[in-house]
Amino acid sequence: MSETEDRLKSVYWLGGSPCAGKSSISEILAGRFDLDVYHVDEVFETHRQGLNPARQPNLSKWLASSWNERWMQPIDRLVEEVIACYPEQ
């Protein structure tokens, strides 16, 4: 196991569609279990600038697609693509 993988053992990811309540749930959990919250949306542009298509192919493809290409596809494919992006973020 790499050092990064070892450090990420204590990281919990919340994913979901816009306005699903991710921020609200994360704040509740953080308060209850004394956790730190890191909102990817707040620093996503910084993440985007360091994007490496060879290491993050799913996320690169997602960001290069149009809104219509993302949201106007069968739901099972959409969910599969979104979930594939989480580890790359």
- Please tell me whether residues 30 and 49 are part of one structural domain: no
Do 73 and 87 sit in the same domain of this protein? Answer: yes
The count of domains in the chain is 2
DSSP label of 26: H
Does this model's pTM top 0.95? Answer: no
Q: Are residues 51 and 81 in the same domain?
A: yes
Same domain for 51 and 89: yes
89 and 66 assigned to the same domain: yes
Q: Residue 6's domain spans which residues?
A: 1-38
Residue 35: the pLDDT is: 93
Output the tens digit of pLDDT for each of the chain's 89 residues. Answer: 788 888 888 888 887 777 889 999 999 999 999 999 988 778 878 878 888 999 999 999 988 999 888 889 899 998 899 889 888 87
Element (H, E) at 10: none
Q: How far apart are CA 28 and CA 88, in angstroms?
A: 26
